[in-house]
Chain A
Amino acid sequence: MNGLALDIAHLLAGSMVLVSFLLLYQDRMFALLNIFALQAIVLSASIAWQAYIQDAPHLYVPALIALLLKGIVIPLALRRVVIKLGIHREIETVVGIGPTMLLGIGLVALSMVIMLKATSTADPLAREDLAFALSVLLLGLLMMVTRRNAVSQIIGFMSLENGLILAATGAKGMPLVVEISIAFSVLVAFIVIGIFLFRIRERFDTVELEALDASRGERP
């Protein structure tokens, strides 16, 4: 039983990495939002499962937060933003999908090697879970780097943050307050960035971040 429980936890963590890759692969706005919602749902399931097997009922709170906030509210809100801004066309990526994927695989390999080297005495499954969390984090970062559009950058940021939460719940004994504060910080970030999006659009008629470079004086 215990082995199976750990296996499921491991599988959920692995699916987080998989969904992160799906995020990298998507080049359509709405699909991106759907996948992000999917990632939040997987995350919530993963946290809830951890709560169940660690016998830590306080973990159900972040699971619920992840499900409601990131699985439903934020995607819906972003959807409205996208419709309002009229940017539901294809996302322009800075790097092509193929190279991005290869980079992503390289990052996963890197986090695997680092985690397994750093924690050579711990339980192998726990080590791999940590490695998965690190991969999700790095893939979120990669997404922020390789996308031009502000909305997909927000999603990259939040997927990065999902990686943090995954790491936190996997490691036993993360205080509840920290988790809740992380969740709310994301909400704040979302609101701030959302407002910024509209302000940017008002000023520059686009949400392509490269358009902003000109006003920084970087481009003549």
Chain B
Amino acid sequence: MALIASFITQGLQMLLVLALAPLLVGFTRKVKARLLRRRGPSIIQPYRDLLRLIRKEAVIAENASWLFRVSPYLIFAATWVAAALVPTFATNLQFSWTADLIVITALLGSARFMLALAGMDVGTSFGGIGSSREIMFASIAEPAMLLVVFTLALVAGSTQLSAIADFMVSHASLRVSLGLALAALIIVALAENSRIPVDNPATHLELTMVHEAMVLEYSGRHLAVIEFAAALKLLLYVSLIACLFAPWGIALTGNAVSAYVVGALSYVGKLAVGGLLLALFETSIAKMRVFRVPDFIGIALMLGLLGVLLLFVSGSF
């Protein structure tokens, strides 16, 4: 019985992240528009966009290879699996022991690997520009992310997300190294999701674009899948920050059904706060030049290193 319930929660989570991901994007866009005194598109516009895209025919460049057609599905699958393994409304799901935080980071790395290759597949200059810049950003953001993971793992004594979340719920306290890790994680999240100031998710035909340049040749259902994966990734990072640094309300193992309801409600609330803060941040800051971005992500690397160093040197924590 417990096993079945646990399978059901895991399944629910997989569907929940799918259902909420476009909503988060729509919500963020709406808030941004309102902040700019525009009316903005409806909050469910991303769903309509996805539907429209999958109804259209896919136009593929003449010299695109099989890799170009397979990549979107692999990117989507890797991101979905990663997103499904991050605790959202409950910890210790059925399969949470499959992968720890390092694996989730690496799964996103796999998705990026495929995306960067897909960008180079057609052999256009835009694809190349996007891929080469994406791998440069990643080469700084990924170590920064791993240093954040190290910090959390050293504090909580585990790299398992559920264990870390449980620890944060039971041993809540203020720590300098955790503050550094949070700042670093936010910077990494901005960079990984191609948000301002690293990249602009709303631009097209701009020389500084990165993510859009890689997916320039995609259309129809392939584009829909990639857009969906991007939305999932944003959701993943917001859930990650929420479950690591604001784990309040999350349902623990063996809790009653009501706890799960509370968990789900608080999760939606946290997503809304995350989207709101993201929109606020993005409207208050300008996009950077590409070669200033390494310095910006470099801060995350530095903060992560500082956090780990603090924990290593002063064994007091």
| A residues in contact (CB < 8 Å) with B | 3-4, 7-8, 10-11, 13-15, 17-18, 21, 25, 97-98, 101-102, 104-105, 108-109, 112-113, 116, 124-125, 127-128, 131
The reply to whether the CB of B175 lies closer than 8 angstroms to some CB of chain A is: yes
Which chain B residues border A4 with CB–CB below 8 Å? 173-174
For A96, the closest partner residue in chain B by CB is B295
Is B146 part of the binding interface, using a Cβ–Cβ cutoff of 8 Å? no
User: B179 contacts the other chain (Cβ, under 8 Å)?
Assistant: yes
Q: Which residues of A contact B180 (CB under 8 A)?
A: 14, 18
Which A-chain residue is minimally distant from B317 (CB atoms)? A124
Residues of B within 8 A of A18 (CB): 179-180, 183, 303
Instruction: Evaluate contact between B314 and A116: CB separation under 8 angstroms.
Output: yes
Q: Choose the segment among B8-16, B151-159, B305-313 that binds chain A (4+ C-beta atoms closer than 8 Å).
A: B305-313
Report A-chain residues with C-beta under 8 Å of the C-beta of B314: 112, 116, 124, 127-128, 131
**Given A97-B295, A112-B314: A105 and B176 within 8 A (CB)?**
no
Closest CB in chain A relative to B304 CB, distance in Å = 10
Contacts of B179 in A (CB 8 A): 11, 14-15, 18
Q: Which 3 interchain pairs have the tightest Cβ spacing?
A: A14-B176, A124-B316, A7-B174
In the complex the two chains form, is B313's CB within 8 Å of A98's CB?
A: no
Report whether over half of chain A's contact residues are helix, strand or loop; otherwise say mixed: helix
Flag if B174 contacts A108 (CB, 8 Å): no
- Asked if B298 CB lies within 8 Å of chain A CBs, one says yes
Residues in chain B within 8 A of chain A (CB atoms): 173-176, 179-180, 183, 294-295, 298-299, 302-303, 305-306, 309-310, 313-314, 316
Q: How far is the CA of A113 from the CA of B312 in the complex (A)?
A: 11
CB < 8 Å A-B pair total: 67
Bound-state CA distance A102–B176 (Å) is 19
Q: How far is the CA of A113 from the CA of B315 in the complex (A)?
A: 11
Question: Given A14-B176, A18-B180, A97-B298, do A105 and B305 touch, yes or no (CB 8 Å)?
Answer: yes
Q: Are A8 and B295 touching (Cβ within 8 A)?
A: no
Complex contact A101–B298 (CB within 8 A):
yes
How far does the Cβ of A119 sit from chain B's closest Cβ, in whole Å?
Answer: 12
The chain B residue sitting closest to A101, CB to CB, is: B302
B310 CB contacts on chain A under 8 angstroms: 14, 112, 128
Q: How far is the CA of A21 from the CA of B309 in the complex (A)?
A: 15
Q: Which of A10, A112, A125 contacts B309 (CB 8 A)?
A: A112
Contact B313 A113 (CB under 8 A): yes
CA distance A108 to B313 in the complex (A): 11
The answer to whether A25 and B295 have CB atoms under 8 Å apart is: yes
Additional A-B contacts beyond A101-B298, A109-B309 (11; CB < 8 A): A3-B173, A10-B174, A10-B176, A11-B175, A13-B176, A17-B176, A18-B179, A18-B183, A18-B303, A97-B298, A128-B310
A-B contact pairs, 8 of them (CB 8 A): A7-B174, A10-B174, A97-B295, A101-B298, A102-B302, A112-B313, A124-B314, A124-B316
B313 to chain A: which residues have CB within 8 Å? Answer: 109, 112-113, 116
- Structural contact, B175 and A98, CB atoms closer than 8 A: no
The residue on B at minimum CB distance from A24 is: B302
Given contacts A18-B183, A98-B295, A98-B298, contact A7 B306 (CB under 8 A): no
